[in-house]
Amino acid sequence: MDFFPIFLNIRNKSCLVVGGGAVAERKIALLLKSAADVVLVSPELTHDLTTWRDMGRLNHQARGFQDEDINDRHLVIAATDNAEINRHIAELAHAKRIPVNVVDQPELCSFIVPSIIDRSPVVAAVSTGGASPVLARLIRSRLESLIPAGYGRLADLCNRFRQRVKDHFSKPEDRRLFWDRVLEGGVAERVFSGHDEEADQLMERLLADPRLDQEMGEVYLVGAGPGDPDLLTFRALRLMQQADVVVYDRLVAKPILEMTRHDAEHVYVGKERDKHAMRQEEINKLLARLAKQGKRVLRLKGGDPFIFGRGGEEIDTLAAEGVPFQVIPGITAAAGCATYSGIPLTHRDYAQSVTFVTGHLKDGSMNLNWDMLAQPNQTVVFYMGLVGLPVICRELQAHGVAGEMPIALIQQGTTHMQRVFTGTLENILETVERERPKPPTLIIVGHVVELQEKLAWFEAPPHSEQGATSPVDF
């Protein structure tokens, strides 16, 4: 290693920064977060540095650097735009054995400032030894997606229970195994989901009987979004990769399903029109039963679980059964498909509201509030409406919507199989007869569709039957 990794305690310690530009501002921001006593020497300051000075957060000397400025400092940062001054500061600091950092000149540094992931009190630092700060930031951004924001609260919990665990387990190996179970099990997930009180209660029970953590698992109700794996949330991805069992729907995109743990058990519960692999009530009971077996269960649903996803029914059962669960929202099909097709759902000049409805036929009809859906200056999005499209076009016009009203059909939106068909309520059925779109296809009705050709930014490659499948049957 070119540099020895170390964390310094500079709380209330005098730290000198020379320079008042943007680089100095970034360094001072970190020093202030570490509760350092910052002395800043510079004739001029940035706006934020001026604000911090006026707030009394730092001691500003409005002049150039003087050799005696370095006396009695615990740390020095040279951040001027003059290479000779920076070198001189470094030489003085080295002579007094004071840790010094010279911005963008690693050969003059006795320490470097790494790229930081702050989950205080948990802090991770990434460094390339000054070779490539951009690479360090790139690595940090990757790690940011893997380290939940709740890790700081989890560290606080560990600190609170540390002595009690040490007193309870006399052997270091037993303590290590206990903490492994805590940090990879239900306690950690309760902290990450914001249930700190439940986490404390579970810790109390585990200390009374360490076997309890094997008696109850948890259900993760995760929204998989509209198809593009890049639209998954960080939290969804983390839970997908730690679940023991994956319960998934018919149209969860294959690339998304492949991002789950490879050794996890996969249970298919997909539904097709008039053909269900498993009834909803059976799915609800399955989730509860698997969790009660001590398993971490991923319920992977297309789009968002709470928008036509029946997620509320599933967690209602879990709550009644006393099974821990957490819900991770996903990008719903309306938002994802509209964005990828270049159709803003609202626009100041075209639509001031948006309505989501299900267009699923029941007994050959749709029991919808057509008067409400026919109101002007709005966008209406129909999920699961392809089969019922003739009814949608007929009823909207019958309730006062002009036949020239624009309409768009978005097939397998956000994926490489995306196709967009536009027309009007009067002629869209001719397009359907000619193009034969297939589910999943989302329907958007409103003047915002007029913007589609102008604002379309996503281009799917030439149509191929080998493409990804979108996960929402709409």
**Cα–Cα distance measured from residue 385 to residue 391, given in angstroms and rounded to the nearest whole number:** 9
Which pairing describes strands 354-358 and 379-383: parallel, antiparallel, or unpaired? parallel
**Cα–Cα distance measured from residue 135 to residue 142, given in angstroms and rounded to the nearest whole number:** 11
Read off the amino acid at residue 207. L
Question: Would you state the pLDDT for residue 4?
Answer: 87
Question: Would you state the pLDDT for residue 159?
Answer: 94
User: 216-331 has which fold?
Assistant: Cobalt-precorrin-4 Transmethylase; domain 1 (3.40.1010)
349's tokens: 């000049």
Enzyme catalytic residues: 249, 271
**Residue 341: closest CA among 468, 464, 457:** 457
**Cα–Cα distance measured from residue 66 to residue 83, given in angstroms and rounded to the nearest whole number:** 16
Question: Would you state the pLDDT for residue 185?
Answer: 79
Contacts of 276 (CB under 8 A, 6+ apart): 270
Are 153 and 194 in contact by the 8 Å Cβ rule? The answer is no
Class of domain 148-215: mainly alpha
14-113 CATH, one of 3.40.50.880, 3.40.50.300, 3.40.50.720, 3.40.50.620: 3.40.50.720
User: Where do the structural domains in the chain lie, given as residue ranges?
Assistant: 14-113, 148-215, 216-331, 337-455
**Cα–Cα distance measured from residue 259 to residue 255, given in angstroms and rounded to the nearest whole number:** 7
Hey, is 61 helix, strand or coil? Answer: strand
Contacts of 377 (CB under 8 A, 6+ apart): 350, 351, 352, 353
Question: Would you state the pLDDT for residue 3?
Answer: 84
Question: Would you state the pLDDT for residue 212?
Answer: 53
Are 467 and 412 in contact by the 8 Å Cβ rule? The answer is yes
> Any idea which architecture 337-455 has in CATH?
2-Layer Sandwich (3.30)
Hey, is 89 helix, strand or coil? Answer: helix
Question: Would you state the pLDDT for residue 465?
Answer: 45
Decide: pTM greater than 0.85.
no
Question: Would you state the pLDDT for residue 309?
Answer: 87
Note down pLDDT in tens along the chain; length 474 residues: 788 888 999 999 999 999 999 999 999 999 999 999 999 999 999 999 999 999 999 999 999 999 999 999 999 999 999 999 999 999 999 999 999 999 888 899 999 888 888 888 888 899 888 788 889 888 888 888 778 788 899 999 999 999 999 999 989 888 888 898 888 778 888 898 888 998 999 899 888 876 655 567 899 999 999 999 999 998 899 899 889 999 998 878 889 999 998 899 999 998 665 555 789 999 999 999 999 998 999 999 999 999 998 999 999 999 999 999 999 999 999 999 999 999 999 999 999 999 999 988 776 678 899 999 999 999 999 999 999 999 999 999 999 999 999 999 999 999 999 999 999 999 999 999 999 999 899 999 999 999 999 999 998 776 544 444 444 434
Question: Would you state the pLDDT for residue 155?
Answer: 93
